[in-house]
Amino acid sequence: MDGAVGKVLIIDDDENISEVIKMYLESSGYDTCVCHDGRDGEKAFEDYKPDLVLLDIMLPHIDGIDVLKWIRKSSSTPVIMLTAKGETFDKVLGLELGADDYIVKPFEPKELVARVKAVLRRYNLDTANKETLKFDQLIIDVNSYTVVYKEEEIKMPPKEFELLHYLACNKNRVFTREQLLCEVWGYDYPGDSRTVDVHVKRLREKLQGGSNWQIETVWGVGYKFEVK
């Protein structure tokens, strides 16, 4: 897929909003499938095999957060959360659970299409640049989104993997939390660097470093993947 065409699963109980999203996406060249509750959405995810999911928070039967958790148990398919203005939604929690982006209703359909394109562009990295990174006791394979540490495959959500991969691709370079939010999450996420801190903490719990590399904290600045 070239980032302009793909399959999008829309899971939203508002039929009018779903129809508008469907119309704009299809006019931009995307194939779509629409579901109006979480249970049907999970079944459609298995049958339709989308390239991206647009997922409402408040859904009948199974809510959006639980659908997201279910998807992340077996898949790294990009997910953009849809949340109503004024609706209680912990954006940090959603991102930590593996959402790739979120957008607040009401939104301009053209903005939503732009977000879809941006997320798919990030997800479908240029194949020519998909190199396997190798360090002492560590292999990071972006082709299969796998990490092998001390000869064992380490399970991690897509955002943990992408953060690790980004830091390792830019070894010995220091990044602020804000830079990492922008580069890895793909948009400016103002006022809350906790997302990056939580992901780095989880990476360190899984990867204790090697003889010549470590995920280092640069106090007062941010983080770096240090290679000696």
Residue-range domains of the chain with CATH = 7-123 (3.40.50.2300), 127-227 (1.10.10.10)
- Nearest to 188, CA basis, from 199, 196, 180, 176: 180
Tell me the C-alpha to C-alpha distance, in Å, between residue 228 and each of 32, 123, 214, 216: 48, 30, 9, 12
Confidence (pLDDT) at 45: 97
Q: pLDDT band for position 33 (50/70/90)?
A: very high
Residues 205-218: tens digit of each pLDDT: 999 999 999 999 99
**Mean pLDDT of all residues in 144-163:** 90
Q: Tell me: pLDDT of 188 over 70.
A: no
Q: What angle do CA 11, 12, 17 make, to 5 degrees?
A: 125
- Entry pTM: 0.59
CB atoms within 10 A of CB 129: 8
Q: Tell me: pLDDT of 90 over 90.
A: no
Q: For residues 223 and 170, what is the distance between their CA atoms, to the nearest angstrom?
A: 11
Q: Tell me: pLDDT of 60 over 90.
A: yes
- Nearest to 179, CA basis, from 93, 156, 218, 187: 187
- Nearest to 146, CA basis, from 164, 161, 127: 161
Mean per-residue pLDDT over the chain, rounded: 86
- Strand-pair partners of 139: 134, 148
Confidence (pLDDT) at 185: 77
**Mean pLDDT of all residues in 166-184:** 88
Q: What angle do CA 47, 50, 52 make, to 5 degrees?
A: 150
Number of DSSP helices (H) and strands (E) in the chain, helices first:
8, 12
**Mean pLDDT of all residues in 10-22:** 95
> How far out from the chain centre does Cα 94 lie?
10
CB atoms within 10 A of CB 2: 9
Confidence (pLDDT) at 144: 80
To the nearest whole percent, how much of the chain has pLDDT over 90? 54
Across the beta sheet with 52-56, what order do the strands follow? 31-35, 7-11, 52-56, 79-84, 101-105
Q: Tell me: pLDDT of 128 over 70.
A: no
Q: pLDDT band for position 4 (50/70/90)?
A: very low
Q: For residues 207 and 228, what is the distance between their CA atoms, to the nearest angstrom?
A: 17
Q: For residues 12 and 9, what is the distance between their CA atoms, to the nearest angstrom?
A: 10
**Mean pLDDT of all residues in 177-193:** 71
CB atoms within 10 A of CB 7: 17
Q: For residues 208 and 215, what is the distance between their CA atoms, to the nearest angstrom?
A: 9
